[in-house]
Structure 1
């Protein structure tokens, strides 16, 4: 695979960020903000030139990256002594190994791995956050815009089963080993 993904209705801006335009009027934001900042066509606040936070309800960004880039980023950080990135690296490798890279899109924040399903719909976009701070635990959170957030912390040895549990429950995305088992292969 060449690292490209089908992002459905989303479009890429000049920086390669996935831009998803909002649905409905300003009143559909659930009251998260009383006044909306002025934004440019890429959903960036004109005052700061930076992406707006996800909860603004104006234009939501999910800056998807090729899984090969995500893996390379975490491998580099691990080689430089950032041992806490190991669970995120395991998850990224698992997405590719389990042939889910055409169904899931990922992004790295400062220390976390953010994942959502493809194709991207119209915003706001919910996502799963995988994080670890080196305490021997991994925290996986589903950040929902349609219901309650879920947040589970487990030992790092449980990162992959917990991640796939979230992918199955939240997005209906199964690892290849499950898909093979259901097809009778």
Structure 2
């Protein structure tokens, strides 16, 4: 039986978190409405979750999957929509969970809440908690 899944349907070609951080910081320098995107990436790096989460970017959106990333789709992902995505206006963030079962979820919150909302969904959907590196 085919499930109505909006999960990632392509090969997950991840980018290093350091490259993603650089790109979002450069974008935020010229467009402050992207600051929360850089803050989410920074939070992943600060707590060492790069070993547990893989990421790529789709235009200006951030797409995150739990490791190990399946070789073949569909792949459950969290998609953090950027202000330029057309899905949410400046000052807000939309984070979508695209599941393999079709039981998708999404949250829209003020962008100042982006990091805690991101981690709440990472914990709920992937079972990964942020642990600050000492």
TM interval, shorter chain, is 0.7 to 0.9
Structure of greater relative contact order (alpha carbons < 8 Å, 6+ residues apart) = 2
Q: How far is 1:157 from its partner?
A: 1.0
Three-state SS of the structure 1 residue aligned to 2:113 is helix
Query: Which structure carries more helix by proportion?
Result: 2
Q: What secondary structure sits across from 1:139 in the alignment? A: strand
Greater alpha carbon shift after TM alignment, 164-173 vs 138-147: 138-147
CA shift digits 1:86-118 (9 cap, x unpaired): 111111110010110100011111121110100
**Residues 31, 132 of structure 1: alpha-carbon distance in 2 compared, 3 angstrom cutoff:** closer
Q: CA RMSD in A?
A: 2.3
How far does residue 84 in structure 1 lie from its aligned partner after superposition?
Answer: 2.6
CA shift for structure 1 position 31: 7.5
4+ runs deviating over 4 angstroms: none
Structure 1, unaligned runs of 5 or more: 1-27, 33-52, 181-185
Please, which of 134, 144, 157 is the counterpart of residue 99 of structure 2? 144
Residue 164 of structure 1 corresponds to: 119
Equivalent pairs counted in the alignment come to 127
Q: Return the index of the structure with the highest Cα Rg.
A: 1
Give the structure-1-normalised TM-score.
Answer: 0.62
Is the partner of 2:129 in helix, strand or coil? Answer: coil
Determine if the alignment matches structure 1 residue 118 to structure 2 residue 73: no
